[in-house]
Copies of this chain bind each other. A is one copy, B any other.
Amino acid sequence: MKKIGIGLLGLGTVGSGVASIINTPLGRHPLVAQLELIGVAVKDLKKKRDLAFSESILTSNPLEVIENPSVQIVIEVMGGIEPARSLIIKAIRAGKSVVTANKAVIARHGYEIANEAKAAGVYVLIEAAVGGGIPIIEPLKQSLGGNQITKVSGIINGTTNYILSRMDKEGANYDEVLKDAKDLGYAESDPAADVEGLDAADKIAILSGLAFGGPIKRSDIPVKGINCLKSKDVDYAKRLGYVIKLLAISERNEHQTTTKDSLPLSVWVEPTLVPGEHPLAGVNGVNNAILVEGIPIGQVMFFGPGAGSGPTASAVVADILNIAGIKLMGNSNSNLDPLLSAESWRDCYVAEENKISKKNYIRLITDDTPGVIGKIGTLFGQRKISIESIVQFDASNLEAEIVVITHQITKGQLNEALSDIKNLSEVKDIAASMGCL
Protein backbone atom coordinates (compact mmCIF):
# COMPACT_ATOMS: atom_id res chain seq x y z
CA MET A 1 0.00 0.00 0.00
CA LYS A 2 1.30 3.46 -0.85
CA LYS A 3 2.20 5.38 2.28
CA ILE A 4 0.82 8.80 3.18
CA GLY A 5 3.51 11.48 2.97
CA ILE A 6 3.93 13.80 5.94
CA GLY A 7 5.79 17.14 5.88
CA LEU A 8 6.85 18.70 9.15
CA LEU A 9 7.41 22.44 9.63
CA GLY A 10 9.36 22.76 12.88
CA LEU A 11 11.35 20.23 14.87
CA GLY A 12 11.13 21.61 18.41
CA THR A 13 9.53 19.82 21.35
CA VAL A 14 6.28 18.99 19.58
CA GLY A 15 7.81 18.32 16.15
CA SER A 16 10.31 15.84 17.60
CA GLY A 17 7.51 14.12 19.48
CA VAL A 18 5.52 13.73 16.27
CA ALA A 19 8.52 12.36 14.36
CA SER A 20 9.17 9.92 17.17
CA ILE A 21 5.62 8.50 17.03
CA ILE A 22 5.69 8.18 13.23
CA ASN A 23 9.02 6.37 13.39
CA THR A 24 7.99 3.85 16.07
CA PRO A 25 4.63 2.52 14.91
CA LEU A 26 4.75 -0.74 16.89
CA GLY A 27 1.87 -1.07 19.34
CA ARG A 28 0.06 1.98 17.97
CA HIS A 29 -2.94 2.00 15.61
CA PRO A 30 -1.85 0.32 12.35
CA LEU A 31 -2.58 3.54 10.43
CA VAL A 32 0.55 5.03 12.04
CA ALA A 33 2.63 2.56 10.02
CA GLN A 34 1.04 3.99 6.86
CA LEU A 35 2.60 7.41 7.52
CA GLU A 36 5.96 8.39 6.08
CA LEU A 37 7.99 11.45 7.02
CA ILE A 38 8.98 13.02 3.67
CA GLY A 39 10.43 16.40 4.60
CA VAL A 40 11.22 18.36 7.75
CA ALA A 41 11.82 22.12 7.75
CA VAL A 42 14.04 23.53 10.51
CA LYS A 43 15.40 26.99 11.21
CA ASP A 44 19.02 26.05 11.60
CA LEU A 45 20.37 23.11 9.63
CA LYS A 46 23.63 23.20 11.58
CA LYS A 47 22.08 22.68 15.00
CA LYS A 48 23.10 19.33 16.54
CA ARG A 49 20.15 16.96 16.66
CA ASP A 50 19.56 13.40 17.71
CA LEU A 51 17.50 12.38 14.70
CA ALA A 52 15.26 9.33 14.50
CA PHE A 53 15.19 9.65 10.70
CA SER A 54 17.55 10.30 7.81
CA GLU A 55 19.20 13.72 7.86
CA SER A 56 18.63 14.01 4.13
CA ILE A 57 14.99 14.98 4.60
CA LEU A 58 15.93 18.10 6.62
CA THR A 59 15.71 21.45 4.88
CA SER A 60 15.83 25.07 5.98
CA ASN A 61 13.25 26.01 3.34
CA PRO A 62 9.67 25.27 4.45
CA LEU A 63 8.40 25.78 0.89
CA GLU A 64 10.40 22.75 -0.19
CA VAL A 65 8.35 20.68 2.24
CA ILE A 66 5.02 22.24 1.30
CA GLU A 67 5.62 21.94 -2.43
CA ASN A 68 7.02 18.42 -2.36
CA PRO A 69 4.46 16.42 -4.37
CA SER A 70 4.90 13.41 -2.05
CA VAL A 71 3.80 15.44 0.97
CA GLN A 72 0.05 15.02 1.42
CA ILE A 73 -0.34 16.43 4.93
CA VAL A 74 1.60 19.42 6.26
CA ILE A 75 2.19 19.66 10.02
CA GLU A 76 2.86 23.19 11.29
CA VAL A 77 4.53 23.05 14.71
CA MET A 78 6.89 26.00 14.44
CA GLY A 79 4.75 28.35 16.57
CA GLY A 80 4.46 32.14 16.42
CA ILE A 81 2.18 34.11 14.12
CA GLU A 82 4.42 34.62 11.10
CA PRO A 83 5.65 32.91 9.00
CA ALA A 84 3.38 30.15 10.42
CA ARG A 85 0.16 31.76 9.15
CA SER A 86 1.48 32.35 5.63
CA LEU A 87 2.91 28.85 5.41
CA ILE A 88 -0.38 27.28 6.51
CA ILE A 89 -2.16 29.23 3.78
CA LYS A 90 0.46 28.26 1.21
CA ALA A 91 0.05 24.60 2.13
CA ILE A 92 -3.74 24.87 1.81
CA ARG A 93 -3.42 26.55 -1.59
CA ALA A 94 -1.08 23.75 -2.65
CA GLY A 95 -3.99 21.38 -1.93
CA LYS A 96 -2.50 19.89 1.24
CA SER A 97 -4.45 19.26 4.41
CA VAL A 98 -2.83 20.92 7.42
CA VAL A 99 -2.45 19.94 11.06
CA THR A 100 -1.35 22.68 13.43
CA ALA A 101 -0.76 23.13 17.14
CA ASN A 102 -0.66 26.90 16.73
CA LYS A 103 -3.36 28.38 18.96
CA ALA A 104 -2.16 31.95 18.43
CA VAL A 105 -2.61 31.71 14.66
CA ILE A 106 -5.93 29.86 14.86
CA ALA A 107 -7.40 32.21 17.49
CA ARG A 108 -6.52 35.24 15.36
CA HIS A 109 -6.73 33.98 11.79
CA GLY A 110 -8.89 30.89 12.11
CA TYR A 111 -11.71 32.34 10.05
CA GLU A 112 -9.43 33.30 7.15
CA ILE A 113 -7.76 29.88 7.30
CA ALA A 114 -11.09 28.03 7.43
CA ASN A 115 -12.26 29.91 4.34
CA GLU A 116 -9.07 29.05 2.48
CA ALA A 117 -9.45 25.40 3.49
CA LYS A 118 -13.06 25.32 2.32
CA ALA A 119 -12.15 26.83 -1.04
CA ALA A 120 -9.32 24.32 -1.50
CA GLY A 121 -11.32 21.33 -0.22
CA VAL A 122 -8.78 20.37 2.43
CA TYR A 123 -8.83 19.91 6.21
CA VAL A 124 -7.12 22.10 8.79
CA LEU A 125 -7.13 20.22 12.10
CA ILE A 126 -6.15 21.73 15.42
CA GLU A 127 -6.54 19.19 18.23
CA ALA A 128 -3.15 20.13 19.69
CA ALA A 129 -3.98 23.84 19.87
CA VAL A 130 -6.06 23.45 23.04
CA GLY A 131 -5.49 21.26 26.08
CA GLY A 132 -2.25 19.58 24.97
CA GLY A 133 -2.92 15.86 24.73
CA ILE A 134 -6.54 16.00 25.90
CA PRO A 135 -8.98 15.01 23.19
CA ILE A 136 -11.30 18.03 23.20
CA ILE A 137 -11.45 19.47 19.67
CA GLU A 138 -12.33 16.11 18.09
CA PRO A 139 -14.99 15.23 20.71
CA LEU A 140 -16.55 18.69 20.23
CA LYS A 141 -16.71 18.02 16.48
CA GLN A 142 -17.34 14.29 16.39
CA SER A 143 -19.11 13.37 19.63
CA LEU A 144 -21.23 16.27 20.87
CA GLY A 145 -23.01 17.53 17.73
CA GLY A 146 -26.40 16.25 18.90
CA ASN A 147 -26.39 18.75 21.76
CA GLN A 148 -27.39 22.35 22.15
CA ILE A 149 -24.19 23.46 23.83
CA THR A 150 -24.79 25.97 26.61
CA LYS A 151 -21.35 26.45 28.14
CA VAL A 152 -17.69 25.55 27.72
CA SER A 153 -15.37 26.34 30.57
CA GLY A 154 -12.08 25.12 31.78
CA ILE A 155 -8.56 25.27 33.05
CA ILE A 156 -6.66 25.57 29.78
CA ASN A 157 -3.32 27.01 30.81
CA GLY A 158 -0.96 24.63 32.58
CA THR A 159 1.57 27.23 33.73
CA THR A 160 -0.94 29.27 35.69
CA ASN A 161 -2.60 26.14 37.07
CA TYR A 162 0.77 24.96 38.36
CA ILE A 163 1.30 28.32 40.06
CA LEU A 164 -2.22 28.44 41.53
CA SER A 165 -2.04 24.83 42.77
CA ARG A 166 1.14 25.61 44.68
CA MET A 167 -0.23 28.87 46.05
CA ASP A 168 -3.25 26.94 47.29
CA LYS A 169 -1.37 23.96 48.75
CA GLU A 170 1.54 25.82 50.31
CA GLY A 171 0.16 29.29 50.93
CA ALA A 172 3.14 30.50 48.91
CA ASN A 173 3.01 33.87 47.22
CA TYR A 174 2.82 34.49 43.50
CA ASP A 175 6.32 35.83 42.79
CA GLU A 176 7.99 33.01 44.67
CA VAL A 177 6.10 30.26 42.79
CA LEU A 178 6.53 31.99 39.45
CA LYS A 179 10.29 31.93 39.98
CA ASP A 180 10.17 28.17 40.69
CA ALA A 181 7.96 27.62 37.65
CA LYS A 182 10.56 29.34 35.49
CA ASP A 183 13.37 27.26 37.01
CA LEU A 184 11.41 24.07 36.35
CA GLY A 185 10.64 25.04 32.75
CA TYR A 186 6.89 25.31 33.40
CA ALA A 187 6.95 29.05 32.70
CA GLU A 188 8.74 30.99 29.95
CA SER A 189 11.35 33.58 30.92
CA ASP A 190 8.76 36.12 29.74
CA PRO A 191 5.63 34.59 31.23
CA ALA A 192 3.23 37.37 30.14
CA ALA A 193 1.19 35.28 27.66
CA ASP A 194 0.46 32.72 30.37
CA VAL A 195 0.08 34.74 33.57
CA GLU A 196 -1.86 37.58 31.95
CA GLY A 197 -4.40 35.08 30.62
CA LEU A 198 -3.70 35.75 26.92
CA ASP A 199 -2.93 32.12 26.09
CA ALA A 200 -6.14 30.97 27.79
CA ALA A 201 -8.07 33.62 25.82
CA ASP A 202 -6.65 32.28 22.53
CA LYS A 203 -7.82 28.82 23.49
CA ILE A 204 -11.31 29.75 24.66
CA ALA A 205 -11.81 31.66 21.40
CA ILE A 206 -11.08 28.41 19.54
CA LEU A 207 -13.25 26.21 21.78
CA SER A 208 -16.11 28.69 21.61
CA GLY A 209 -16.10 28.70 17.82
CA LEU A 210 -16.34 24.92 17.69
CA ALA A 211 -18.85 24.53 20.51
CA PHE A 212 -21.28 27.19 19.31
CA GLY A 213 -20.73 26.85 15.57
CA GLY A 214 -19.37 30.30 14.75
CA PRO A 215 -16.13 32.21 15.29
CA ILE A 216 -15.83 35.12 17.71
CA LYS A 217 -13.34 37.98 17.70
CA ARG A 218 -10.40 37.12 19.92
CA SER A 219 -9.83 40.82 20.65
CA ASP A 220 -13.36 41.17 22.08
CA ILE A 221 -12.65 38.80 24.98
CA PRO A 222 -12.12 40.51 28.37
CA VAL A 223 -9.08 38.96 30.04
CA LYS A 224 -7.75 39.11 33.58
CA GLY A 225 -4.69 37.05 34.48
CA ILE A 226 -3.27 35.82 37.77
CA ASN A 227 -0.43 38.32 37.89
CA CYS A 228 -2.25 40.55 40.37
CA LEU A 229 -3.55 37.72 42.55
CA LYS A 230 -2.71 37.95 46.25
CA SER A 231 -2.00 34.89 48.41
CA LYS A 232 -4.44 36.44 50.87
CA ASP A 233 -7.31 35.83 48.44
CA VAL A 234 -6.17 32.26 47.89
CA ASP A 235 -6.25 31.81 51.66
CA TYR A 236 -9.67 33.40 52.18
CA ALA A 237 -11.11 31.39 49.29
CA LYS A 238 -9.78 28.24 50.92
CA ARG A 239 -11.33 29.11 54.26
CA LEU A 240 -14.67 29.56 52.49
CA GLY A 241 -14.36 26.14 50.81
CA TYR A 242 -13.16 27.32 47.39
CA VAL A 243 -10.00 27.01 45.36
CA ILE A 244 -8.94 29.74 42.92
CA LYS A 245 -8.41 28.64 39.29
CA LEU A 246 -7.79 30.65 36.15
CA LEU A 247 -10.95 29.83 34.20
CA ALA A 248 -11.76 30.54 30.59
CA ILE A 249 -15.50 30.54 29.97
CA SER A 250 -17.82 30.84 26.99
CA GLU A 251 -21.57 30.57 27.48
CA ARG A 252 -24.85 31.64 25.93
CA ASN A 253 -25.64 35.14 27.11
CA GLU A 254 -29.22 35.46 28.29
CA HIS A 255 -29.15 39.20 28.84
CA GLN A 256 -28.59 40.30 25.29
CA THR A 257 -31.24 39.86 22.60
CA THR A 258 -30.63 36.81 20.43
CA THR A 259 -31.50 37.49 16.85
CA LYS A 260 -32.49 34.51 14.78
CA ASP A 261 -29.17 34.60 13.00
CA SER A 262 -26.71 35.63 15.64
CA LEU A 263 -25.91 34.18 19.04
CA PRO A 264 -24.50 36.42 21.79
CA LEU A 265 -21.92 34.73 24.00
CA SER A 266 -20.43 35.73 27.32
CA VAL A 267 -16.75 34.95 26.96
CA TRP A 268 -14.08 35.82 29.49
CA VAL A 269 -10.88 34.73 31.24
CA GLU A 270 -10.49 35.43 34.96
CA PRO A 271 -9.20 33.94 38.22
CA THR A 272 -12.33 32.33 39.66
CA LEU A 273 -13.32 30.74 42.97
CA VAL A 274 -14.28 27.11 42.33
CA PRO A 275 -16.21 25.23 45.06
CA GLY A 276 -14.21 22.35 46.54
CA GLU A 277 -16.62 19.68 45.31
CA HIS A 278 -16.71 20.99 41.71
CA PRO A 279 -15.05 18.71 39.09
CA LEU A 280 -12.59 21.47 38.13
CA ALA A 281 -11.45 21.99 41.74
CA GLY A 282 -9.33 18.83 41.78
CA VAL A 283 -7.42 19.66 38.59
CA ASN A 284 -3.94 20.41 39.84
CA GLY A 285 -0.43 21.12 38.58
CA VAL A 286 0.13 21.44 34.85
CA ASN A 287 -3.02 19.46 34.09
CA ASN A 288 -5.86 20.97 32.10
CA ALA A 289 -9.57 20.17 32.11
CA ILE A 290 -12.44 21.32 29.94
CA LEU A 291 -16.06 21.10 31.00
CA VAL A 292 -18.71 21.06 28.28
CA GLU A 293 -22.38 21.57 29.15
CA GLY A 294 -25.26 20.97 26.80
CA ILE A 295 -28.77 19.72 26.29
CA PRO A 296 -29.45 16.84 26.65
CA ILE A 297 -25.99 15.59 27.70
CA GLY A 298 -25.66 17.56 30.93
CA GLN A 299 -22.02 18.00 31.91
CA VAL A 300 -18.96 16.18 30.59
CA MET A 301 -15.34 16.85 31.49
CA PHE A 302 -12.11 16.13 29.63
CA PHE A 303 -9.00 15.99 31.82
CA GLY A 304 -5.31 15.44 31.14
CA PRO A 305 -1.85 16.85 30.51
CA GLY A 306 -2.20 20.36 29.10
CA ALA A 307 1.23 20.58 27.53
CA GLY A 308 4.48 18.74 26.92
CA SER A 309 6.12 17.06 23.97
CA GLY A 310 4.45 13.64 24.22
CA PRO A 311 0.87 14.70 24.94
CA THR A 312 0.90 17.44 22.31
CA ALA A 313 2.44 15.06 19.75
CA SER A 314 -0.34 12.56 20.55
CA ALA A 315 -2.90 15.22 19.63
CA VAL A 316 -1.09 16.14 16.41
CA VAL A 317 -0.91 12.49 15.37
CA ALA A 318 -4.63 12.07 16.15
CA ASP A 319 -5.35 14.76 13.57
CA ILE A 320 -2.97 13.19 11.06
CA LEU A 321 -4.72 9.82 11.49
CA ASN A 322 -8.15 11.36 10.95
CA ILE A 323 -7.04 12.81 7.64
CA ALA A 324 -5.12 9.64 6.70
CA GLY A 325 -8.18 7.52 7.46
CA ILE A 326 -10.27 9.52 5.03
CA LYS A 327 -7.52 9.43 2.40
CA LEU A 328 -7.40 5.63 2.72
CA MET A 329 -11.13 5.46 1.99
CA GLY A 330 -9.84 5.96 -1.51
CA ASN A 331 -11.98 8.62 -3.08
CA SER A 332 -10.35 11.90 -3.88
CA ASN A 333 -13.45 13.37 -5.52
CA SER A 334 -15.65 13.34 -2.47
CA ASN A 335 -16.75 16.31 -0.39
CA LEU A 336 -15.21 17.01 2.99
CA ASP A 337 -16.57 15.18 6.03
CA PRO A 338 -18.77 17.90 7.56
CA LEU A 339 -17.97 16.84 11.15
CA LEU A 340 -14.21 16.86 10.68
CA SER A 341 -14.09 20.01 8.55
CA ALA A 342 -16.30 21.78 11.13
CA GLU A 343 -17.35 24.69 8.98
CA SER A 344 -19.07 27.38 10.96
CA TRP A 345 -22.87 27.25 10.74
CA ARG A 346 -24.04 30.16 12.86
CA ASP A 347 -22.98 33.73 13.58
CA CYS A 348 -21.76 34.28 17.10
CA TYR A 349 -20.43 37.37 18.78
CA VAL A 350 -19.02 38.38 22.15
CA ALA A 351 -21.70 40.12 24.20
CA GLU A 352 -20.94 43.37 26.04
CA GLU A 353 -18.80 42.80 29.10
CA ASN A 354 -21.43 44.55 31.25
CA LYS A 355 -23.91 41.78 30.39
CA ILE A 356 -21.73 38.91 31.60
CA SER A 357 -23.63 37.30 34.46
CA LYS A 358 -21.83 35.54 37.30
CA LYS A 359 -21.31 35.18 41.01
CA ASN A 360 -18.57 37.41 42.42
CA TYR A 361 -15.97 37.42 45.19
CA ILE A 362 -15.17 40.89 46.47
CA ARG A 363 -12.60 41.71 49.14
CA LEU A 364 -12.89 45.11 50.84
CA ILE A 365 -10.55 46.84 53.26
CA THR A 366 -12.59 48.85 55.73
CA ASP A 367 -12.36 50.65 59.04
CA ASP A 368 -12.73 48.21 61.91
CA THR A 369 -15.88 49.86 63.26
CA PRO A 370 -19.23 48.28 64.15
CA GLY A 371 -21.95 48.45 61.52
CA VAL A 372 -19.75 48.31 58.43
CA ILE A 373 -21.08 44.91 57.34
CA GLY A 374 -24.61 46.25 57.75
CA LYS A 375 -23.91 49.28 55.57
CA ILE A 376 -22.33 47.16 52.84
CA GLY A 377 -25.22 44.70 52.94
CA THR A 378 -27.71 47.55 52.69
CA LEU A 379 -26.00 49.04 49.65
CA PHE A 380 -26.08 45.72 47.80
CA GLY A 381 -29.73 45.36 48.81
CA GLN A 382 -30.59 48.77 47.39
CA ARG A 383 -29.13 47.61 44.09
CA LYS A 384 -31.30 44.47 44.35
CA ILE A 385 -28.21 42.27 44.53
CA SER A 386 -28.59 39.12 46.62
CA ILE A 387 -25.62 38.20 48.72
CA GLU A 388 -24.58 34.64 49.47
CA SER A 389 -22.27 35.58 52.34
CA ILE A 390 -20.43 38.46 53.98
CA VAL A 391 -17.56 37.44 56.20
CA GLN A 392 -15.14 39.57 58.15
CA PHE A 393 -11.60 38.18 58.19
CA ASP A 394 -8.48 39.55 59.85
CA ALA A 395 -8.79 42.82 61.68
CA SER A 396 -5.65 44.70 62.68
CA ASN A 397 -4.40 48.31 62.81
CA LEU A 398 -7.99 49.46 62.98
CA GLU A 399 -8.53 47.88 59.56
CA ALA A 400 -10.82 44.97 58.75
CA GLU A 401 -11.01 42.74 55.71
CA ILE A 402 -14.51 41.95 54.54
CA VAL A 403 -15.27 39.37 51.86
CA VAL A 404 -18.59 39.47 50.02
CA ILE A 405 -19.82 36.66 47.79
CA THR A 406 -22.75 37.71 45.61
CA HIS A 407 -25.32 35.61 43.85
CA GLN A 408 -25.40 35.72 40.04
CA ILE A 409 -25.46 39.34 38.80
CA THR A 410 -24.35 41.11 35.65
CA LYS A 411 -21.03 42.88 35.50
CA GLY A 412 -22.96 46.13 34.99
CA GLN A 413 -24.87 45.63 38.27
CA LEU A 414 -21.63 44.75 40.04
CA ASN A 415 -19.87 47.88 38.81
CA GLU A 416 -22.73 50.11 39.99
CA ALA A 417 -22.70 48.49 43.42
CA LEU A 418 -18.92 48.76 43.70
CA SER A 419 -19.01 52.45 42.85
CA ASP A 420 -21.58 52.98 45.66
CA ILE A 421 -19.41 51.02 48.05
CA LYS A 422 -16.30 52.95 47.15
CA ASN A 423 -18.14 56.06 48.34
CA LEU A 424 -18.74 54.68 51.82
CA SER A 425 -16.44 56.55 54.19
CA GLU A 426 -15.62 53.31 56.05
CA VAL A 427 -14.37 51.57 52.91
CA LYS A 428 -10.71 52.18 52.25
CA ASP A 429 -10.18 49.94 49.24
CA ILE A 430 -11.80 47.40 46.97
CA ALA A 431 -8.78 45.13 47.20
CA ALA A 432 -9.96 42.28 44.99
CA SER A 433 -12.86 41.33 42.75
CA MET A 434 -13.17 38.12 40.78
CA GLY A 435 -15.61 35.50 39.59
CA CYS A 436 -17.04 32.63 41.60
CA LEU A 437 -18.72 29.44 40.42
Given contacts A138-B143, A147-B28, contact A325 B340 (CB under 8 A): yes
- Contacts A17-B296, A300-B303, A339-B322; is A145 near B32 (CB within 8 Å)? yes
Residues of B contacting A304 in the complex (Cβ-Cβ under 8 angstroms):
297-301
Counting contact residues on chain A (CB < 8 A from B), the size range is 35 or more
Q: Check: A69 CB closer than 8 A to any chain B CB.
A: no
The answer to whether A296 touches B21, judged by C-beta atoms less than 8 angstroms apart, is yes
Q: Does B335 lie within 8 Å of A133, measured CB to CB?
A: no
Distance of A26 Cα from B213 Cα, bound (Å): 12
| Shortest CB distance A145–B (Å) | 3
A146 proximal to B (CB < 8 A):
yes
- Assess whether B298 is in contact with A310, with CB atoms less than 8 Å apart: yes
CB distance from A4 to the nearest CB of B (A): 12
Would you give 14 A-B contacts (Cβ < 8 Å), ordered by A? A26-B148, A28-B148, A31-B145, A31-B339, A134-B300, A135-B300, A138-B139, A143-B315, A294-B314, A296-B309, A296-B310, A297-B314, A301-B301, A302-B302
Contact pick for A303, options B144, B148, B277, B279, CB 8 Å: B279
Q: Is the CB of B305 within 8 A of A303?
A: no
With CB as the reference atom, state the residue of chain B lying closest to A137: B143
A345 cross-chain contacts in B, Cβ below 8 A: 29-30
**Are the CB atoms of A329 and B334 closer together than 8 Å?**
yes
Are B326 and A313 in contact (CB-based, < 8 A)? no
Taking the nearest CB of chain B, how far is it from the CB of A150, in angstroms? 9
Please name all residues of chain B whose beta carbon is closer than 8 Å to the beta carbon of A148 when the two chains form the complex.
26-28
Q: How far is the CA of A299 from the CA of B305 in the complex (A)?
A: 7
Interface flag for A330 (CB, 8 Å): yes
CB of A275 to closest CB in B, whole Å: 12
A338 at the B interface (CB under 8 A): yes
- With A133-B298, A333-B331 known as contacts, the answer to whether A139 contacts B143 (CB < 8 A) is yes
A318 within 8 A of B: yes
Least CB separation from A328: chain B residue:
B338
